[in-house]
Structures are given as structure tokens and as C-alpha cells.
Amino acid sequence: MTAAGGERGEHRIRPVVHRTFPLQDGPRALAELASGDQFGKLVLTVPPTPATR
């Protein structure tokens, strides 16, 4: 394979996570995003459901 990083993909681009918020704090995450003070991604986490535990 001639793609960058070879066959095993050693050279992957990884996102920069600025901060993680629980899903119920979505409005607070949106306010931080609107402020423009973050560097990187804001992540909302979803709590596991009984079916996914």
C-alpha cells in the first residue's frame, strides 16, 4: 500500500479534546463553544444504558 502511514496506519491524525461534558451539561458546553475560548473539541459524554453495560 502506498498511502501515507503505510498499511498499519501508524501516522493517524488525532483530535485535540479541550474539555468533556456530561450530556446533561450540553447548554454549558454550547456556551463555552460560543465564547470561542476553547482550543480543540468539546465532547459530550452519554451515560451507559442498561443494555450497553
Closest CA to 44 of 30, 34, 52: 30
For cell 456556551, the residue is 31
pLDDT digits (tens, 9 = 90+) for 43-52: 999 988 888 6
Residue 14 has pLDDT above 70, yes or no: yes
pLDDT classification of 27: cutoffs 50, 70, 90: very high
In the chain, the N- to C-terminal Cα span, in Å, equals 38
Retrieve residue 15's grid coordinates. Answer: 483530535
pLDDT digits (tens, 9 = 90+) for 28-41: 999 999 999 889 99
Residue 51's pLDDT is what?
80
Distance CA 44, CA 49 (A): 15
User: How many Cβ atoms from other residues are within 10 Å of residue 30's Cβ?
Assistant: 13
Residue 1's pLDDT is what?
44
pLDDT classification of 4: cutoffs 50, 70, 90: low
Retrieve residue 26's grid coordinates. Answer: 450540553
